[in-house]
Amino acid sequence: MNATDLRPHLLAFASRPHLPETQALAGTMALAPRRRGPWRAPVAGLGARELDVLLLSYFPAAAPLRPLLQIWREEAEAAPRQGLDEFDELVALLLAHDARPGPDSRWLACAVATASMADNHLWQDLGLPSRAELNTLMQTRFTALKLKNAGDMKWKKFFYRQLCEQAEVLICKSPSCAACNDYGVCFGPED
């Protein structure tokens, strides 16, 4: 089964397929084979038990897919991580802004961080239909971050900027976005 096939199967097995949380988790897991190294895990950062609990909670009828997902997880776990990948910092940033702390908070934070390690726009790497669903997910689950991103900066750029500010690293070439030559890189449509 390839990545394109897996998402609809997962959603068919989901208890609440309409939720942005469900769609983001399904998309992140389905797109695992398109990521590199340790990010080829269904959801990086989750061990075998956590992945099983996630599947039981969000995709209770997905038992037939469990062996495949666990194989992907084991293969990814065997891959070395590069020195500075920012994954753990991003998970921590998301959890620090968790609006609905619960058992699924870590699964979602790890899924968003996993997708952030891929190469496309974040909504695409989460397998969501558009940026609108990603904004809904951020509004619902990471509300304070959504409020901080009042200018609707591209999410990967926004996360990176937040982590740089935390580390007191200056990445911006201009004191204001409006006057910056990189405005189009950080803002604008993501089609």
**182, 173 contact by CB (below 8 A):** yes
Nearer to ligand SF4, 183 or 190 (CB): 183
**28, 114 contact by CB (below 8 A):** yes
Least distance in Å: CB of 5 to ligand SF4? 37
Nearer to ligand SF4, 75 or 183 (CB): 183
CA-CA distance, 191 to 181, in Å (whole number)? 21
Listed ranges 10-18, 52-60, 142-150, 167-175: which one lies at the site for ligand SF4 (CB under 6 A): 167-175
Our finding on whether 172 is near ligand SF4 (CB under 6 A) is: yes
Nearer to ligand SF4, 3 or 186 (CB): 186
The DSSP 8-state label assigned to residue 59 in this structure reads -
Q: How far is CA 55 from CA 66, 69, 105, 150, in A?
A: 8, 10, 14, 33
- Among the listed residues 71, 144, 147, 177, the single contact to ligand SF4 using CB under 6 A: 177
CA-CA distance, 76 to 65, in Å (whole number)? 17
Listed ranges 22-30, 66-74, 113-121, 179-187: which one lies at the site for ligand SF4 (CB under 6 A): 179-187
CA-CA distance, 116 to 113, in Å (whole number)? 5
Nearer to ligand SF4, 18 or 173 (CB): 173
**Element of type H or E holding 184:** helix 183-186
- Among the listed residues 92, 182, 190, 191, the single contact to ligand SF4 using CB under 6 A: 182
> Rule CB under 6 A: which residues touch ligand SF4?
161, 172-174, 177, 180, 182-183, 186
